[in-house]
Structure 1
């Protein structure tokens, strides 16, 4: 019997024996309004069996595994595949045995011991089909986590019992909240020195704002870890065998009965706060049975019991025939096909497109319609992925994650069978924060170089390629040094192209700080038809927290400017804002208001008004007191306390703002906001300051205005470079 949570959805932190000795289980409850669990979404048709649909869909789970880097998520996935019989040997993540983890199929992943690309697989557990996506932990590859969570029904958040809730744990949890993904959390590495599950529990409550309680109590800790006590079943579990595959169940050790009773009461108290029936029993001091709590020991049992099946999650599409009204999808094979392309890869047989099917059935040979482009496409090949291996299938239905070959599309496109014009909402794509100039060493390899860049752009929305108008150099942009380094190395390995790398540069932005008016007349007579366009209005900064970066508003009353020229005026201002006059970087957070103007019956044209807008922007930009914005990073570093002084002093030298300083055993954990421009080479500096014992992670926070002296320096450098180029 499942826990009764009325209309509230819930997430549970669960743990089991799927990585060395088993960690601790926690339970978390929270409300999700839009993706509430509801088994009432099953569509009904006379020619189909309702019970068959329900039984089929209830036996599907789509989950992702996410965590801070080095928390053990890929190792966990490896254990899941081993215990479900999908693989027959367990290999180390770093590939010291020459094989490496199954889900890290790229050579670079095995060499560096990190996950770079999310990988899909599937397994069977107790007649349930579990689709799994293993995601990277490093913040530079956050888009891989983002697009996985966009299409999953549930997730496992892996937490390290030594490191606790770390910076990327918070980021991943925030992403899960964004897509309202219910989750379990797996507290890992209880056999490591310094393991403290109770610290992790408190951090989950304070840092992640989880309403949580322990479901299991460890028997011993660190090198003395032997097993755990399940607070739901009130049994002790001990793990034996080379991989902990043999579980021995016993009664609770006598010396743990007091602690177990205390923690079980805490668990019941936590559940009672979201379950009215259980709360009544708790307040009346009635006995609470294990059936009332419905707990299981293995993690996969927890996935089946606590995470929703596809029909228990409310997914909505936007109906393009009804002004993008929200349409609730049944989540069953009954109904029109609706599928989302959430990830692209260059495969051996062309583009490999990963699809999450939300409704209906897709078959090999079917014609499907890309709603975003209007194109009708035939499915030549349909496969299921097991890391880099694929298995051909003839059809797939709602709730499944598959891949297709030979379908030309972009990430985020929606496919249907053509009977409906539904689109799924796109995923959040963060803006790149760092750029590099890149050029092939050999001119003969230009074709392969372009092919590599085009491929990586299609696969990764956070990887951008542009051309520097002044130098003619190719500029690649991404989420950080590691992100760009990986792509440069992949160009070398996969396309045999050696490239020359320029100095990393930060993606600055410009903005205005006050209102400035413009009144510009563009008038030109060349003997034939002339050019005439006058625009009047003002530019001003957008309100803080605005969701857009550029706004244009036409406030002209009457027809002083014919309405057909208004789009050209907006286009001109947008084009002008692509390059500010301070350092030539894009201008953001700006609002342009058109209040008046004039047109000529013969000489006015779209070109004339577009040019008038560009010159008008340049005319008033300096009056609006523009400033330069720089990307500021959230930096979390951990080092032995003896090095705290030099570490914090160095952060201050880099003009960082320290916002947190915590103690974690013998280590200090410092959180700071530091300008990205001052963080180049920090990994080397930190190792030097801490005798190689320090570590840090960094992620983009926001763009902030630079100080006056930095702005002056940047402007002078920009002018000097321009002068030298003339």
Structure 2
């Protein structure tokens, strides 16, 4: 029976992640030529904007085969503005390959994607890429992996150089010297005995590998103490066990651009990352009328079909393409399935296995598969679909947008088209939001950063032919309170022609910064559950709509202290309305404040320009939290208000003659001081 691996390739931007993916496609026979990022000929970065900008914007899925293993591979973006693509990919993957630049090491987005993989308990192997570059230092990268990512890296290879040229790799498990034939673009791997001049170094590296591995394996340490020969199968099985348990991270090496080291990486994927059926049951919740009960779904079950929709891609001809990961059972084209969250049934149209943008129609999706469903009209990212089983899988959490821009149609006739296109893009991207001001009619779109919004507006114009103008970037603020207040009020207006009455006392106070909103219910059994839930819905709605300026509220603690209740006059609408009205009034009396987003900024700058960069950052309200020295480069860890960071990329290029770079992501909200 063929094995299966569902893996993702993840990395910081420019670590060579897409180049690795392109070589995987070539060496597995999925493609006949090697795509090049610089030439814009990559298969996984198929969008026109990806090829023009030289970055991955959307995660792309493909299926290839290595020996007797089917590999479902997802290439994810490395730029922080597209972190949601990484998030939803990791949610459905069973393993991942983390790519690190041998010069840059563990860079900021490397840490972000590593934390995302931790969140979803994804086993990983590492690939140190770009060993051919000047300044490459694999030992430095290994040290950074251990210190910054808090995992135990285990090098399985030793790179061999002649002067600064990477000649090949020594495999420390088989103790063979691997070279990659240039005439076949690296497709032919030449395995030979280790050259005598490298034998001592290789033996030391192997001893170090086995010594580390033995700390996790009693069988291995016994053999080492007895000075017995170590079976290769034992090394592989122990590495597999420890990788899946996430106790250590096997590290492979090479240069994907120079076609070196990719086949051993593929071997490591099959050796060390899990088959979906090896993993435990899938946690889910059984949904009934008033509660959700924790259950587990067997991956081996053939009885029930359960899948998660993790991505939606709008196709101009086919409509919405829903990427789904199947966890149990199977499904065929034409079948009716239940969207559990929507409580609606939809018919599956066509089923596809994707190769980047090229669909391959198939008849059936089975447990473990990653495939695409055409024909759904209601589905959204995070929805669970089943063949009738009323369960929901853990959904996907996405960060909230922090930057907005106003858009307006070029003419009134373009308005409906503009709304339609933006709604389609919003369905595709959960971190892209469209909001219309009910009073002014202004359209506001929000996203994760300037690049994110630039990409989406370019797509709207070029791909969907929407005609519109774009305003200047705006910041997505939040509102909170600094004081506290307690208010009591009654509601005694007719509802649907019938008399109603409700009374409520609420207390509002600041919650700890960064803790989010909190609602404490002290009513116990003094009010029926449905009416208590109505009050909570009203409070939540009020907090979402803001206090003074209409921005969503943050870090507010609302306590429901007491109610007045008349069974004959009680109505859910009355209590919900009262919850909303009273929350707004109490917050208004509790010294409302405006919160602004503060960004975590990592700047890589050559030593010669550090002084000027820090000086200019200070004028933008930036605070340097730390400095990390790396050879001739300094990494500045900075916190700065988003409002002051617009246009920073141009300024930084000017200050450093184009040699400095930066990445920026949301950190937290703070009180706006001016």
Tell me if both proteins adopt one fold, taking TM over 0.5 as the criterion.
yes
In 2, Cα distance between equivalents of 1:264 and 1:680: 50
Any idea what the Cα deviations from partners look like across 1:505-553, whole Å, max 9, x if unmatched? Answer: 1111122234321123567799x9888654323112335664x534252
CA contact (8 A) 1:532 1:604 kept: yes
Which residue in the other structure is 1:152 paired with? 93
2:195 matches 1:253? yes
After superposition, the Cα gap between the structure-2 partners of 1:563 and 1:216, relative to the gap in structure 1 and judged at 3 Å, is closer
In 1, Cα distance between equivalents of 2:484 and 2:366: 55
2:130 paired residue among 189, 205, 211: 189
Which residue in the other structure is 1:340 paired with? 308
In 1, Cα distance between equivalents of 2:530 and 2:67: 65
After superposition, the Cα gap between the structure-2 partners of 1:282 and 1:650, relative to the gap in structure 1 and judged at 3 Å, is farther
Which residue in the other structure is 1:18 paired with? none
CA contact (8 A) 1:160 1:187 kept: yes
1:320 paired residue among 287, 309, 331: 287
Residue aligned with 2:149, SS: coil
Which residue in the other structure is 2:268 paired with? 302
In 2, Cα distance between equivalents of 1:346 and 1:619: 43
Aligned runs of 1:366-405 on 2, under 5 Å?
366-405=335-374
Which residue in the other structure is 1:654 paired with? 620
Which residue in the other structure is 1:280 paired with? 222
In 2, Cα distance between equivalents of 1:378 and 1:263: 57
In 1, Cα distance between equivalents of 2:209 and 2:119: 27
Deviation at 1:362, TM superposition (A): 1.2
2:542 matches 1:576? yes
In 2, Cα distance between equivalents of 1:543 and 1:566: 25
Deviation at 1:159, TM superposition (A): 0.5
Which residue in the other structure is 1:168 paired with? 109
1:358 paired residue among 301, 305, 327: 327
In 1, Cα distance between equivalents of 2:549 and 2:163: 55
Which residue in the other structure is 1:412 paired with? 382
After superposition, the Cα gap between the structure-2 partners of 1:367 and 1:586, relative to the gap in structure 1 and judged at 3 Å, is closer
In 2, Cα distance between equivalents of 1:222 and 1:319: 62
Aligned runs of 1:596-611 on 2, under 5 Å?
596-598=562-564, 609-610=575-576
2:174 paired residue among 230, 233, 238: 233
CA contact (8 A) 1:333 1:359 kept: yes
After superposition, the Cα gap between the structure-2 partners of 1:525 and 1:378, relative to the gap in structure 1 and judged at 3 Å, is closer
2:603 matches 1:637? yes
In 1, Cα distance between equivalents of 2:294 and 2:574: 41
After superposition, the Cα gap between the structure-2 partners of 1:428 and 1:571, relative to the gap in structure 1 and judged at 3 Å, is closer
CA contact (8 A) 1:382 1:404 kept: yes
In 2, Cα distance between equivalents of 1:222 and 1:660: 36
Instruction: Name which structure has the greater RCO, CA cutoff 8 Å, separation 6+.
Output: 1
Deviation at 1:642, TM superposition (A): 0.4
Deviates more, 1:598-607 or 1:276-285: 598-607
In 1, Cα distance between equivalents of 2:640 and 2:652: 14
In 2, Cα distance between equivalents of 1:597 and 1:553: 11
CA contact (8 A) 2:506 2:583 kept: no
In 2, Cα distance between equivalents of 1:671 and 1:445: 44
Any idea what the Cα deviations from partners look like across 1:541-567, whole Å, max 9, x if unmatched? Answer: 335664x534252427746xx876544
In 2, Cα distance between equivalents of 1:141 and 1:222: 39
In 2, Cα distance between equivalents of 1:624 and 1:221: 70
In 1, Cα distance between equivalents of 2:197 and 2:119: 44
2:172 matches 1:204? no
Aligned runs of 1:478-493 on 2, under 5 Å?
478-493=447-462
In 1, Cα distance between equivalents of 2:363 and 2:99: 35
In 2, Cα distance between equivalents of 1:598 and 1:201: 64
Q: How many residues align?
A: 644
Which residue in the other structure is 2:484 paired with? 515
Q: Give the CA RMSD over aligned residues.
A: 2.6
Deviates more, 1:187-196 or 1:508-517: 508-517
After superposition, the Cα gap between the structure-2 partners of 1:678 and 1:282, relative to the gap in structure 1 and judged at 3 Å, is farther
CA contact (8 A) 1:119 1:133 kept: yes
2:470 paired residue among 478, 493, 501: 501
2:378 matches 1:434? no
Which residue in the other structure is 1:61 paired with? 5
After superposition, the Cα gap between the structure-2 partners of 1:497 and 1:222, relative to the gap in structure 1 and judged at 3 Å, is farther
Any idea what the Cα deviations from partners look like across 1:46-89, whole Å, max 9, x if unmatched? Answer: xxxxxxxxx34xx1111111110111111111101111111111
2:640 matches 1:674? yes
Structure 2: gaps (5+ residues)? 240-251, 253-262
Deviates more, 1:674-683 or 1:573-582: 573-582
2:523 matches 1:555? yes
After superposition, the Cα gap between the structure-2 partners of 1:575 and 1:212, relative to the gap in structure 1 and judged at 3 Å, is closer
1:126 paired residue among 54, 63, 67: 67
CA contact (8 A) 1:552 1:570 kept: no
1:244 paired residue among 172, 186, 205: 186
1:621 paired residue among 583, 587, 594: 587
Structure 1: gaps (5+ residues)? 1-54, 714-726
In 2, Cα distance between equivalents of 1:557 and 1:345: 47
After superposition, the Cα gap between the structure-2 partners of 1:508 and 1:230, relative to the gap in structure 1 and judged at 3 Å, is same
Aligned runs of 1:20-59 on 2, under 5 Å?
55-56=1-2, 59=3
After superposition, the Cα gap between the structure-2 partners of 1:416 and 1:288, relative to the gap in structure 1 and judged at 3 Å, is same
2:664 matches 1:664? no
CA contact (8 A) 1:318 1:424 kept: yes
Deviation at 1:698, TM superposition (A): 1.0
CA contact (8 A) 1:555 1:593 kept: no
After superposition, the Cα gap between the structure-2 partners of 1:385 and 1:138, relative to the gap in structure 1 and judged at 3 Å, is same
Residue aligned with 2:445, SS: strand
After superposition, the Cα gap between the structure-2 partners of 1:293 and 1:520, relative to the gap in structure 1 and judged at 3 Å, is same
CA contact (8 A) 1:192 1:222 kept: no
Aligned runs of 1:506-545 on 2, under 5 Å?
506-521=475-490, 533-543=502-512
After superposition, the Cα gap between the structure-2 partners of 1:602 and 1:63, relative to the gap in structure 1 and judged at 3 Å, is closer
Any idea what the Cα deviations from partners look like across 1:96-148, whole Å, max 9, x if unmatched? Answer: 5xxx1001111111100111111110111112111101111111111111111
Which residue in the other structure is 1:424 paired with? 393
2:36 paired residue among 84, 92, 95: 92
Deviation at 1:234, TM superposition (A): 1.0
Which residue in the other structure is 1:41 paired with? none
Deviation at 1:499, TM superposition (A): 1.8
In 2, Cα distance between equivalents of 1:194 and 1:544: 43
TM score, norm. by length of structure 2? 0.90
Which residue in the other structure is 1:7 paired with? none
